[in-house]
Amino acid sequence: MTQAGVGAAIGMAAMAPFSKDGAMNLKAVEQTKAETQRLVEAAKSGGFKISETAVADIRKALAEMKTKLLVIQRGNMDLSQAPKLGSHAYGQTVAAHDQKAADDEAGSANVVLKQFSAVLELADEALARAAGVYQEQEDNAADVHKTAQG
C-alpha cells in the first residue's frame, strides 16, 4: 500500500462514521472500527509500512480529534443521569427511558462516542505499527519494566 493510499484509508476511516449533516451512527462506527482493525492487522503482519515522518501529521490530527472527543464525552456526562421529571411514577419511568436511550442503548450518543474513540485508537495504532513506532514503544516499555525489576 502506498503512503498516499494509507493516508487516504485512515482519512476515510476517520470520516466514515459521519453523515453529510455531521451526525454519527453506531452501525457506521462499528463498520469503520472493523476496517480500522484490518489496518492494524495488516500493519502487524507487515502488510503495509510507512515512514514515521509520513504519518506524523495524520497521527497529530488523530490526537487532536481524540482530545476534542474527550471534551465532548465529558460534556455528555449529564446523559448518564436520568432527567428530573418529577417524583411520580410516570415521570420516573420516562426519565429512566430517556437516560437509557441517551447513555446505554446501542446507537445512543455515549455508546457511539465510545466506539468512535476506539476507532481513533485503532487508527493511531495502525499508523504507529506501520511506521515501526509501536514496536519501538513496546520495546522501550519492556526495557523499563526489566530495569525496574532489577
Average pLDDT, the chain: 76
Confidence of residue 124 (pLDDT cuts 50, 70, 90): very high
End-to-end CA distance of the chain: 42
pLDDT band at 65 (very low <50, low <70, confident <90, very high): very high
How does pLDDT run across 22-53, given as a tens digit for each residue?
556 678 888 888 888 888 888 888 887 888 88
* Across 100-117, average pLDDT: 76
**Lowest-pLDDT range, 57-66, 108-117, 131-140?**
131-140
Q: What is the mean pLDDT of residues 111-122?
A: 89
Q: Which residue has the higher pLDDT, 46 or 145?
A: 46
Long-range CB contacts (within 8 A, 24+) of 129-134 = 129/40, 129/43, 129/44, 130/6, 130/39, 130/42, 130/43, 130/48, 130/49, 130/50, 130/55, 131/49, 131/50, 131/51, 131/52, 131/54, 131/55, 132/49, 132/52, 133/52, 134/43
Task: List the chain domain ranges.
Answer: 3-149
